[in-house]
Amino acid sequence: MKQAHGLAENSIGQPRQAVRDADERLAPAKTRQRRRVIWLHLPALGFMIIMTQIPFLLCVWFSLHAWNLLTPAEGFQFVALSNYTHEFFGDPNFWPVIVQTIEIVFGATAAAVIGGTVLALLLDRNFWGRNVLRGLATVPFLVTPAAVAINWKNLFLSPHFGIIDWLVHSVLGFPIIPWFSSYPLESVVLIIAWEWTPFVMLVILAGLQSIPNEIYEAAKVDGANSLTTFWKITLPMLRKAYEIALLFGTIFIFQTFGEIFLTTSGGPGTATMTLPYYTYQTAFISDQIGLAAALGVIGVIIAIFAARGMLRLITEREAVA
């Protein structure tokens, strides 16, 4: 049923032509639909405002106040922007946390993109058992992060019972490495990248499948070898797939929490703290609600810019095509 308006042939290069055609054909009926009072989206809109916008406005309001739950006597004092100036200039943890956030988000995204591409190329070939392997390869994306992160810590990267250390130490003869204290950032990045690799793989696979076979045949006729074909045809045609993988990946990886909480708790020291984690820590461990609110607002501003940029990329191309 999806083939209805030739959408199936819709390749990545000209994504939305079919939809626009449909829009034009639909015009009279759609206008009639429009004349009705439109309220269907209002319950959802109201719900989202209550659950996210009002709390966010409160967050902004809190961020302008000094409020420490441990010292209730000091109360709820208006301090204008001093929570923000404290974070920017007075908090020794803030900038390292920002740098680590960037390292974790981009490190994990980059690793997932490379790993996902390799898996997608391998699983795009036709071979016996392909569908089973594809299903298996998505598993790290589906598993409950908290359940698996704790096992990464105890079964794999643990210096006592970890199978990786067994390999490194007992088999290869290198000294035991306490991964989470010697390489905390790398260990966390490894777990997150492992979880997100299947997502990238699925997106790239979909991209690969949407490249029409005729293009490859034409390239073959023109005598292009497989490497040239990959660089000159496959990769450019995957552009949209990569955009989606990158932008979704970064935005969701930015939210990572359980994996850090259950492996390093942000440590050692603050070595694996990301901005959202540091916000949580400031609110729920240090009870500094005012400062945590300011950190939250900073995080929202960063995320909104990223999200709008991404959506503009996707929807604008729909409109232009």
Partner 1 sequence: MNNTKKVWSNLGWTVFTYLIIGIFIFPVAWMVLTGFKQEVEASTTTPLIFFRPTLDQFQLVAQSNFGAYLFNSLFASLVSTALALLLGIPTAYSMVFQMRTRSANEMLFFALSTRFMPFAAILVPLFIIISRLNLLDNLLVLTLIYTAMNLPLVIWMARSFFMDLPLEVLEQAWLDGSSTFTSIVRIILPMSAPGLIATALLAVIFAWNDFFFAVALTYTEAPTLPILVSTFTSNEGLFLAKLSALATAIIIVPVALGIYAQRHLVHGLSGGALK
The region of 104-112, 177-185, 215-223, 277-285 touching partner 1 under the rule CB under 8 A is 277-285
Q: Is 193 in the site for partner 1 (CB under 8 A)?
A: no
Q: How far, in Å, CA of 310 to CA of 240, rounded?
A: 11
Q: Kindly tell me the burial class for residue 177, based on how many C-beta atoms sit within 10 Å of its own C-beta (0-12, 13-18, 19 or more).
A: middle
Task: Select the residue interacting with partner 1 from 107, 184, 266, 276 (CB under 8 A).
Answer: 276
Q: Which of 6, 14, 51, 102 binds partner 1 (CB under 8 A)?
A: 51
Other C-beta atoms closer than 10 Å to the C-beta of 256 total 23
CB under 8 A: which stretch of 16-24, 77-85, 212-220, 229-237 binds partner 1?
Answer: 16-24
Question: What residues from 215 to 274 belong to the interface with partner 1 (CB under 8 A)?
Answer: 240-241, 244, 248, 251, 254-255, 257-258, 261-262
Tokens 């204008």 correspond to what residue? 80
192 binds partner 1 (CB under 8 A): no
Distance of alpha carbon 235 from alpha carbon 211, whole angstroms:
10
- By CB under 8 A, tell whether 209 contacts partner 1: yes
* Interface stretch with partner 1, choices 88-96, 114-122, 177-185, 229-237 (CB under 8 A): 114-122
Among 13, 17, 22, 186, binds partner 1 (CB under 8 A): 22
Question: Is 180 among the residues that bind partner 1 (CB under 8 A)?
Answer: no
Q: How far is CA 29 from CA 19, 34, 246, in A?
A: 15, 9, 38
Alpha carbon of residue 169 to chain centroid: 34
Number of residues located near partner 1, criterion CB under 8 A: 116
Among 138, 168, 177, 185, binds partner 1 (CB under 8 A): 138
Instruction: Write the single-letter amino acid at 219.
Output: A
| Cβ nearer to partner 1, comparing 96 with 159 | 159
Collapsing DSSP states into helix, strand and coil, what is residue 65? strand
C-alpha span between 241 and 289 (Å, rounded)? 40
Residue 41 makes contact with partner 1 by CB under 8 A: yes
CB of 90 to partner 1, least distance (A): 20
Which residue lies nearer to partner 1 by CB, 66 or 241? 241
d(CA 58, CA 296): 11
Work out how close the CB of 279 gets to partner 1 at its nearest, in angstroms, rounded to a whole number.
4
The reply on whether position 72 binds partner 1 by CB under 8 A is no
CB of residue 182 vs partner 1: minimum separation in angstroms? 19
Is 203 a binding residue for partner 1 by CB under 8 A? The answer is: yes
Q: Give me the least distance between CB of 106 and partner 1, in Å please.
A: 16
Of 70, 72, 92, 160, the residue at the interface with partner 1 (CB under 8 A) is: 160
3-state secondary structure of 77: strand
Question: Which is nearest to 282 in space by CA: 103, 104, 59?
Answer: 59
Give how far Cα 206 sits from Cα of 118, 245, 281, 293, Å.
14, 11, 39, 40
Q: Helix, strand or coil for residue 114? A: helix
Hey, what amino acid is at 190? Answer: L
